[in-house]
């Protein structure tokens, strides 16, 4: 057996344990009764220790060394590159640091759940200090190994190839036009009259509606399910994708679009090439590319008029409310494109969302690079929110820098993925329009030509190429934020 084949078999073994971990995680969120959590945490910790051990096994170094000298096809070379990436990611950080981070994040995150509600920055800051210190240490070690700045090394975990230099360029461009665009749109929407849903929308009816919409979006129910959890997510494995949502019986709007979003993630997973199943090269390219699929579904398909027309019909059917003006196409469209300045990222609309991301990006970049200290964060947050959205978060930590879970667990470098995803999605749309009559496909109820494009250009490509190559092959150019701007102006102005 060649060393390349040995590596292939080894990474497939790791994948089987990842499969177990993923399903146990889904189960913990979707099914598990409270009393099961202690035993489950221990089982999952054991799995994760075992996966780490397999990922850092000493003989891997020799196998990689030899495999690089073996005659390999282009695809095999890509597979080797991605296995090596996983291996480097796993081995570069010393085990005692990983351990210390795991303890510090658990402690910080656990306390944060109550501290946030109580707006307790002082309490939070004590735990968070340790998380930041250890993340900086991690970033330094990763940076030295990869020849990157500390923050770029953190970005590389989620968005391989993306750098501070490129994000600074992208985001400073957005900052030149976004605030003004938001203001214009707010003025334009001022006179809109919107009828908001009222009454009770049973979970059962909402779920039935969600399943109908998933059918329209060609979710493969032989290889996946829809369930409920407190925090919606897409989990499982490509041949068995588990998406979840959360229902509010007073309002169906958010859960419905949430299902469209998660279906985007799911179809990417379901569309990954089975030839590379269980191998790093067969996985989704990056968090940003993953988000580009969920946001293509949610923003490019989900919020366009012909799709809203389907939602209007299907939701009126589901709630047996054909005469209710809430469900009229025009009204639903207004609901789904309403722009509002607010404190909370996860509640933000398409237009103000990038502002929330840029605030976080600039802060975490400077925090990880040691330009600012963690105690500076609340004041800088307040200042940046005032500058970008004109709202102050002074003394309002719970709706300010304490609102997200990411930083409590040390996930620095993740936030940019959201806006990168939105930008990629707009760029795909611009290219797709040249060969696919998108609106006509949506109107007809057969969205296959759209999905065929995504499958050919993104899903089937998995991690065969770098992100830049992937985007260039799909759209003829690397990331270009002008498509995103045009999309927003087109929809909102």
Strand partners, 236: 241
CA 429/CA 170 separation, integer angstroms: 19
Return d(Cα 379, Cα 385) in angstroms, integer. 10
Q: Is position 230 an interface residue for a second copy (rule: CB under 8 A)?
A: no
Helices (H), 390-447: 416-432, 438-444
Q: Taking contact as CB under 8 A, which single stretch among the options 42-50, 166-174, 191-199, 299-307 is the one that binds a second copy?
A: 42-50
Quickly tell me which residue has 């070379």 as its tokens: 77
Of the pair 50, 129, the CB lying nearest a second copy is at: 50
How far is residue 261's CA from residue 379's CA, in Å, rounded to a whole number?
33
In the complex with a second copy, the residue whose CB is nearer, 40 or 473, is: 40
Q: Which residue is catalytic, options 262, 283, 298, 362? A: 262
Rounded to whole angstroms, the Cα distance separating 66 from 4 reads 8
Q: Is 42 in the site for a second copy (CB under 8 A)?
A: yes
Which residues face 237 on adjacent strands?
A: 240
How many CB atoms sit inside 10 A of residue 280's CB? Answer: 22
Angle between the N-to-C axes of helices 164-189 and 150-158, in degrees from 0 to 180, rounded to the nearest 10: 70
Binding mask 188-227 for a second copy (x = CB under 8 A): --------------------------------xxxxxx--
Say whether 291 is catalytic: no
For residue 32, the SS3 value is coil
Smallest distance from a second copy to CB 188, Å: 45
CA dist 25 and 12 (Å) reads: 20
Site for a second copy in 49-68 (CB under 8 A): 50
Return the residue of 34, 190, 193, 320 that touches a second copy, per CB under 8 A.
34
Tell the smallest beta-carbon distance from residue 56 to a second copy (Å): 17
Candidates 2, 6, 20, 335: give the one binding a second copy (CB under 8 A): 20
**How far apart, in Å, are the Cα atoms of 451 and each of 46, 274, 446?**
39, 17, 10
Q: Token pair of 441, please? A: 């496909």
Q: Which residues, listed in sequence order, are joined to residue 234 by a DSSP beta bridge?
A: 243
Candidates 13-21, 71-79, 119-127, 331-339: pick the segment binding a second copy (CB under 8 A). Answer: 13-21
Q: Among residues 36 and 342, whose Cβ is nearest to a second copy? A: 36
Q: Which of 2, 6, 40, 449 binds a second copy (CB under 8 A)?
A: 40
Query: Residue 137 Cβ, how far from a second copy at the closest point, in Å?
Result: 29
- Shortest distance, position 16 Cβ to a second copy, whole Å: 4
| Residue among 367, 469, 427, 439 nearest 160 (CA) | 469
The yes or no reply on residue 173 touching a second copy (CB under 8 A) is no
Cα dihedral angle (425, 428, 433, 439), rounded to 10 degrees?
Answer: -30
Stretch that binds a second copy, among 36-44, 160-168, 246-254, 258-266 (CB under 8 A): 36-44
Give the shortest CB-485-to-a second copy separation in angstroms: 40
Q: 220 or 373, CB closer to a second copy? A: 220
Which residues make beta-bridge pairs with 243? 226, 234
Euclidean distance between CA atoms 188 and 248, whole angstroms: 30
Q: Count of CB atoms within 10 A of residue 78's CB? A: 21
Q: Is 13 in the site for a second copy (CB under 8 A)?
A: yes
> Residues 35, 147, 325, 490: which binds a second copy (CB under 8 A)?
35
Q: Binding a second copy by CB under 8 A: which of 55, 56, 57, 239? A: 239
Among 68, 120, 137, 240, indicate the residue that binds a second copy (CB under 8 A): 240
Q: Please give the DSSP secondary-structure letter assigned to residue 406.
A: T
The catalytic residue positions are 262
Residues that bind a second copy (CB under 8 A): 13, 16-17, 19-20, 23-24, 27, 31-36, 38-40, 42-43, 45-47, 50, 220-225, 236-240, 277-278
């Amino acid at each position: 057996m060649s060393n390349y084949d040995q590596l292939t078999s080894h990474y497939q073994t790791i994948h089987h344990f990842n499969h177990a971990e993923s399903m146990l995680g889904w189960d913990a969120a979707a099914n598990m009764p409270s009393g099961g959590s202690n035993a489950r945490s221990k089982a999952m910790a054991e799995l994760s220790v075992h996966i780490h051990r397999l990922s850092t096994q000493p003989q891997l170094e020799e196998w990689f060394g030899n495999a690089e000298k073996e005659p390999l096809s282009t695809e095999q070379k890509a597979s080797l590159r991605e296995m090596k990436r996983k291996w480097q990611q796993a081995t570069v950080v010393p085990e005692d640091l990983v351990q210390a981070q795991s303890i510090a994040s658990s402690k910080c995150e656990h306390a944060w759940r109550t501290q946030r509600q109580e707006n307790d920055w002082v309490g939070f800051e004590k735990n968070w200090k340790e998380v930041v210190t250890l993340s900086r240490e991690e970033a330094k070690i990763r940076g030295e190994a990869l020849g990157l700045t500390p923050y770029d090394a953190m970005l590389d975990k989620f968005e391989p190839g993306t750098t501070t230099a490129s994000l600074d360029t992208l985001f400073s461009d957005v900052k030149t036009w976004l605030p003004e665009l938001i203001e214009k749109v707010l003025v334009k929407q001022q006179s809109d009259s919107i009828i908001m849903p009222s009454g009770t929308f049973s979970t059962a009816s909402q779920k039935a509606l969600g399943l109908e919409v998933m059918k329209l979006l060609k979710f493969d129910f032989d290889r996946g399910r829809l369930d409920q959890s407190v925090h919606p997510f897409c989990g499982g494995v490509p041949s068995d994708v588990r998406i979840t949502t959360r229902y509010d019986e007073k309002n169906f709007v958010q859960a419905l679009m949430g299902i469209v979003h998660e279906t985007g993630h799911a179809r990417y997973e379901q569309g990954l090439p089975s030839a590379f199943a269980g191998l790093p090269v067969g996985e989704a390219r990056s968090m940003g590319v993953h988000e580009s699929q969920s946001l293509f579904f949610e923003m490019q398909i989900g919020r366009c008029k012909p799709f809203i027309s389907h939602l209007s019909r299907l939701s009126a059917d589901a709630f047996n409310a054909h005469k209710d003006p809430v469900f009229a196409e025009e009204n639903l469209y207004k609901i789904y494109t309403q722009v509002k300045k607010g404190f909370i990222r996860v509640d933000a609309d398409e237009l103000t969302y990038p502002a929330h991301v840029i605030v976080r990006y600039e802060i975490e970049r400077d925090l990880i690079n040691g330009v600012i200290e963690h105690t500076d964060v609340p004041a800088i947050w307040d200042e940046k929110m005032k500058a970008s959205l004109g709202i102050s978060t002074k003394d309002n930590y719970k709706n300010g820098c304490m609102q997200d879970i990411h930083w409590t667990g040390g996930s620095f470098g993740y936030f940019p993925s959201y806006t990168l995803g939105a930008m990629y999605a707009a760029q795909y749309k611009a290219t797709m329009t040249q060969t696919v009559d998108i609106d006509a496909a949506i109107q007809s109820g057969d969205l296959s030509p759209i999905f065929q494009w995504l499958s050919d250009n993104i899903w089937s490509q998995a991690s065969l190429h770098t992100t830049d190559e992937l985007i260039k092959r799909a759209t003829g150019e690397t990331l270009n934020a002008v498509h995103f701007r045009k999309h927003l102006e087109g929809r909102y102005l």
